[in-house]
Every structure is written in C-alpha cells, then in structure tokens.
Structure 1
C-alpha cells in the first residue's frame, strides 16, 4: 500500500486566513437562532458557511459531515469545530465551539437555578414557529446539496436508498450503515472522470499534533473507565466524558446515557432530569449543552456555575479531540481518486440522510396542520428564491406561528 500524501512543508495558501473574533460572532449568531436539533444545525451551517460566507464548498462540507457522522460525539458541534479550525486555527476552533455552545448552556444553567417555570416556552406558538423554520432550513439544505452532490442518476439513486435505509433503521446504526454502503457503492460504480477533484483544505492541525490528540482521547477514555465507580469528583467527570466519547447518533442518544449516569447514583433527581430534558428541546444550539444543566444541579464538589461549565467541557471534549485528530489524515485521504469515488457515494448518502431527517423527526414533530405547512413553505421560498438570511426566516416564522397558530 502506498504511503499517504504528506501535507506541504512550504507555506500553504490554503492555511487558515480568518480570525477568531470573526468565527466567534458567526457561530454566536447561530448559537442564538439554530433551533431544531443536529440535522437542522447542519442546514444552518450550510446556509451560513457554504452559501453566504463561502468558507467551504458543498463537496468539502459534505465530506466533513460524512466524517463527523462516522465519529462518536455531537456531529453538528464537531462540524462547527472543524470549520473554525480550518478558518482560524486553534483560536478559531475554540471560538466556534464557544459561540455555538454558550447561549444554550448559559440558559440551561439559569434554568437549573430555579427557572423551571419557563418550561411553558416549550409549548408556545413562538417555539412551534422555530420548529417550522427548521423544516424550511433543512428542506433548503437538501435541495441545494442534492443539486450539487446528486447531479446524475446513480448518485440520486444512492441518496434515495440511503433515505429509505435511515427511515427503516432509525438509529445511529442505520445512518452509519447508509453512509458506509453508499461509499462502497461509489467506489465500485462511479467514474472518477465524472467527479470534480476534491478542493484542498488546510485542516488547521498537523499530523504530529493529531496523533497526540488521538492518544489523549484514548488515554482519557481508559482513565474514565477506571474511575467510573463511586460518587467522587473524578467519577462525575468520568461519567460525562464517557457519555461524550461513546455516543453515536447525536444529542438525543447522549440524553439517555446521561440519565443512566446521573439518576441511579442520586446525583440528579428524575423529575429534575425530565424537566431539564424538556427545556433542552426548547433552546437553540447543541443538545449536549444539557450537561451544563445537570452540572449545575450536581452535588458537591460540583454544582452551580462551576459544575455546569466543567461538565459541559467534559461531555464535549472527546468528540472535539476525535475530529481534530482525524482531520489531517482525512484531508490527505480524500484527495485520492478511489477515495473521491467513495466519498461521492457517501456524500449522496448524506443528502439522503438529511432527506430522511427532514421527514422524521422534523416534519413529523412540526407539521400538523395546513397552516403549519404554509408557514414552512413560505420560509423555504424566502430562503430558496427570496435569498433571505436564515435569521430573518427564523424570526418571521416564530412571529407568524405566535400570531396564527
């Protein structure tokens, strides 16, 4: 087997060119407005960073999404972290994570201080409008990505097959299986001559640093397994690190793992856990920020703001270590013709997975009446043909649902 192509040692024109302040405010805006869960977040990211800011092209974005779907951890947060890393290096990666994560984390910590009376917001018309906006944003992402990544019959067929498999097996296994099967089909059946070359991107991290990050991930996982028993501070940190390291399938899966970690030992009561679960669905940003709510409720030595922020970092850390460690090897691999064929199939599968998620859970949880459909359809039209920014569509959908639904 030939060795992987090395990253250039001379100054690279593809090296990060942005700054952390720019990255922070771009993601902070999304952290305030990106409702709808991980799949909707990917739609918001595409609208902001592929279409509006042009930090990355559609093919590279889909490659990145496919990589993060394979890795354990919060896929949308990993994509955002990688986008920040490629744009402005390590300061940009940290800025992207903080900007996207802090808004919902801070709200949930406040809720843990006794603001559970805000739970009525989860059932308000305005929040329902935010769900309708998420339908419009994901539909627009599917439409745009399908035109770019499924331009011929073979890839369109792979996208449809991936959607059917994801609907038939609604779990992380179905998603990863669909991407793997489509990648294998693309390797066998697609022609390299018909595919555009993969656009080179600097991953923002070198190979030596990547190896260190992967070793740190593995060592911390082994340490967390050794410290998992008991009720001490190390055991609490270990439980949250393990939840972030071993979860496939996104935020909803980590909620179940966290319940098993904190309710049986009596760290958090089941009623408080369920109340926080409802609140976590009503705030924007990643569902992994539910860890901040739990950390604020934890017994000493954690609890309060310290517990919320420490356990927030603990649950996100493994996924971020993994994606940063994988990126330089991924960037080298995806330049190969055989990998490009496989990735063309995998990217078609990503479109299919977004299509399946557009139906379930987004459509099934948001579209209940003709008026719901009308609001979502107008939102889609404003995005696709009116060229309106997602933030404006989100605000208009919330107001429309609040007034009319």
Structure 2
C-alpha cells in the first residue's frame, strides 16, 4: 500500500473520530446545560474553548456575535458553528443532535403525560404557567438593560409592544421587526464599529449561497404550498419554520410567534401551550425544543419530529449561509445600526407576550401574584437555577389549588 492510499484510508477514520468526539461532548452539554441561552454560552466556553481549545477566545467571541445577529436560537447556532468548524457540515448536525435530543425526549414524554390524563385544571399545571411569567419577566429585565439602554431604544420597544398587542396578525411582528431595523439603520447609521480580526471559516461561499437560497426559498414557498395543498403537515412545517426564521433575541421570543400560529388554529389549547412552555424551563438544552412538545401535542411522534426539524432548520441554513460572509458584514455600520433597532423591537415583542398570553392567563388571583413575585425574586436576586424555580412553582401551584 503506497503513502497516498494510507492517507486516504486514514481520513475517514479521523473524520469519524472527530464526529464521535463532537457527539459525546455536545450530548454532555445537552444533559447538563440548564439556565437558558446566556448560561449555555458559558457552558460552551468551558467545554469547547477552555478545556479543549477547539477555537481561540477571539474566534469564539466573533461566532457568538454572529449568532446574536441572526434570527433563531443563538446558543444552538453557536454549537452548530463550533461543530462545523471542528468536523465540517456533518459536525454541525451531530453537535445539534447531541445538544437538543435529551430535552426533546423529555418534552415529548411530558406531552404524552398531558394527553393521557385530564390534568388541564391541576394545580401543578397552573404553577407551570406562573413559572413562565417569572421566566419571561426575568428575560425582559436582562434584555432590556442590555438592548434598550437609552430613551430612543426604550421608545422603539414600547411602541412595538403596543402595536403588537393592538394589531395581532400572522405578519405584524415580522413587519415590526423590519420597520425597527430600518429605523435603527437611520438612527444609528454613524455608530462606531470596533475593528476585529477575521474569523477562519471552513465553508465555501458557494455552499453559503446555496444555503441562503434554500432558506429564503422555503420562506416564500411554504406559505404558498400551504394555501394550495391544504395539507395539515405542510401547515405544521410552515408554522414552525416561519417562527424559527423570525425570532430575534433567543428562545423566549418564540413564545408569542408560536402561540399565534398554534392556538387560534386549534392545534393546541392555550392552557396546554403555557404548561409546555413552563415545563421547558425544567429541562436542559435550548428553549426551542418546546417545538417537540407542541408538535407531539398536535400530531404525536411524527408531529414532534416535523416541528423540531422545522423550527431548527432556519438556524442551520442561516449559520452556514452567513459564516463565510461574516468577516465583511460585522464591519458594516449599516448592519450594526439595523441590529440595534431590531434588538429594541425584540424587547417590545417580549413585553407584549408577558401581558398576553402569559399574565392574562396565569395571574388571575392575589395568590398568583404573590407566587410569581416570589419566583421572580428567586430568579433575579437569589439567582437560583431555573429547575429549582420550576419545582417551587409547581409546589406553589398545588398549594394555591388547595386554598
């Protein structure tokens, strides 16, 4: 056997070893990463950067910056990006599977539990709804401090929140995000952009363009197919794909988008929807895995698979499609200015969701307000893990039901 043959035989083995390595580490993270997207980035840094040095500090920071810019689940996109850089495109898929599968399994089992028993009025379900209020309130506080630090951005957020509550259509939030981006582009067009090093990317621009073409092609074609075919599976895929495509700011913001896609159509009740959102706080991994629960409630195991693939697919297509161009985009004042406006709009959309459907559904008595206040303090001031707050909310909900 000559040297070239030995090298060719060694390459598949090395690739398989890298993929297995990515799968093992990402699965470990999927089993232990509690606390939401910000905490996930800390776990990633510890495992991928500090312990294994798969990327340097600056490259990791740049990757995080890109994923914060894109719509979709930022922490999942960071994990996908690290998997791609470590083991190619298939490495990104493996990294996503490891990080999301544990919570997907847990949430599908929870969906079957709800379907098997008539527990819609159970006290612990009410407790999960109150947990969701506290979690979203915490997210608004943190995001508001970071993304709306001045009166102009606060104004954008409040206007977006008001319009979102008064004009509830399938496309209102998308139009508001676009409008906020244009306003940010104009108001912050002269902002200073810090100089940054180039991020090494193992993806060709041809692959990137193909990925972006698929992303926008599906975004246009799916609603048309939904109208022409009148097929429930196409409709389900379209709802979750569009929700995954227009979520800026992390998993919490997907709540109002999914609620308006699924509850009015009768696929899931508002009570079951909020119970699933509360349960998602108790499992590790990305908040977008709530799609597995919602899909299972709507159409069983097949629905869970379709919904999960659909809501995460935009994240794959966008991270692959933008990585090769990121070095140029992140130096643009226009891109950065638009992002400032979009981020302010995200805070507004989340504020609207805190009121409706969360507050109006869960906080209906003085005892509910007392419990949500306690849970909020536990999260924000005591800084307890979300799973502890979930347990406290369940116990509190049961006690309220006994009063």
Shorter-chain TM-score category? 0.5 to 0.7
CA distance in 1, matches of 2:201, 2:355: 33
- In structure 1, what is the Cα distance between the partners aligned to 2:32 and 2:131? 16
Provide the residue aligned with 2:259 in structure 1: 252
Structure 2 CA distance for partners of 1:382 and 1:103, relative to 1, 3 Å: same
C-alpha deviation, 1:363, in angstroms: 1.0
Aligned in 2, Cα 1:162/1:242: closer, same or farther, shift over 3 Å? closer
Once the two structures are superposed, the pairs formed by residues 144-223 of structure 1 within 5 Å of their partners are 144-190=142-188, 192-193=190-191, 207-214=205-212, 218=217
Q: Provide Cα deviations, 1:325-382, integer angstroms capped at 9, x if missing partner.
A: 2225556234411110110111111111111111111111111122211111111112
Write out per-residue CA displacement over residues 207-255 of structure 1, whole angstroms, 9 at most, x where no aligned residue: 44444445556489969949x869xxxx786565455446676433443
Q: Distance in 2 between matches of 1:339 and 1:19?
A: 32
Q: CA deviation at 1:147?
A: 1.1
- Residue 286 of structure 2 corresponds to none
TM-score, length basis structure 1: 0.66
Kindly report the root-mean-square deviation, in angstroms, between the aligned alpha carbons of the 2 structures: 4.3
CA shift for structure 1 position 131 = 1.4
Q: Deviations over 1:242-287 (max 9, x none)?
A: 554466764334436986xxxxxxxxxxxxx76x886555333424
The change in CA–CA distance for 1:277 and 1:127 in structure 2 (over 3 A counts) is: closer
Contact 1:243 1:257 in 2 (8 A): no
Contact residue 212 and residue 321 of structure 2 kept, 8 A: no
Which of 294, 312, 317 is 1:325 aligned to? Answer: 317
Contact 1:23 1:92 in 2 (8 A): yes
Quickly say closer, same or farther: Cα 1:166–1:314, change in 2 above 3 A: same
Hey, what's the Cα distance between the residues in 1 that align with 2:331 and 2:146? 19
Please tell me whether the aligned partners of residues 58 and 148 of structure 1 are also in contact (alpha carbons under 8 angstroms): no
Kept in 2: contact 1:133–1:394 (CA 8 A): yes
Unmatched segments (≥5 aa) in structure 1: 1-17, 34-43, 69-74, 260-272, 297-307
Partner SS, residue 379 of structure 2 = helix
State the partner residue of 1:15: none
Mean Cα deviation higher: 389-398 or 18-27: 18-27
Distance 1:397 1:204 in 2: 45
Distance 1:386 1:277, change over 3 A: closer
Say if 1:139 and 1:358, in contact at 8 Å, map to a contact too.
yes
Q: 1:290 to 1:356 in 2, by over 3 A?
A: closer
Q: Which has the higher helix share?
A: 2
Inter-CA distance 150–281: structure 2 relative to 1 (3 Å threshold):
closer
Cα distance change, pair 220–146 in 1 and its aligned pair in 2 (3 A): closer
| Aligned length, in residue pairs | 334
What is the alpha-carbon distance in structure 2 between the residues aligned to residue 65 and residue 384 of structure 1? 22
Paired with 1:97 and 1:206, the residues of 2 have a C-alpha distance of 27
Structure 1 residue 172: Cα displacement: 3.8
- Which of 100, 103, 110 pairs up with 2:103? 100
Shift of 1:174: 2.4
Q: How many angstroms apart in 2 are the aligned matches of 1:343 and 1:166?
A: 19
State the distance in 1 between where 2:172 and 2:101 align: 31
1:282 to 267, 275, 279: 275
- The one of 376, 381, 384 equivalent to 2:377 is 381
- The alpha-carbon distance between structure 1 residues 204 and 135, as it changes in their structure 2 partners (threshold 3 A), is farther
The residue aligned with 2:14 is none
Contact 1:243 1:258 (C-alpha < 8 Å) held by counterparts: no
Task: Map 1:2-401 to 2 at 5 A.
Answer: 19-27=22-30, 45-46=36-37, 48-49=39-40, 64=67, 67-68=70-71, 78-79=73-74, 81-89=76-84, 90=92, 91-108=94-111, 110=112, 116-120=115-119, 122-190=120-188, 192-193=190-191, 207-214=205-212, 218=217, 225=225, 240-245=236-241, 250-255=257-262, 279=272, 281-283=274-276, 284-285=279-280, 286-287=290-291, 289-293=293-297, 295-296=299-300, 308-309=301-302, 311-330=303-322, 332=326, 333-401=329-397
1: distance between equivalents of 2:106 and 2:210?
31
TM-score under structure 2 length normalisation: 0.66
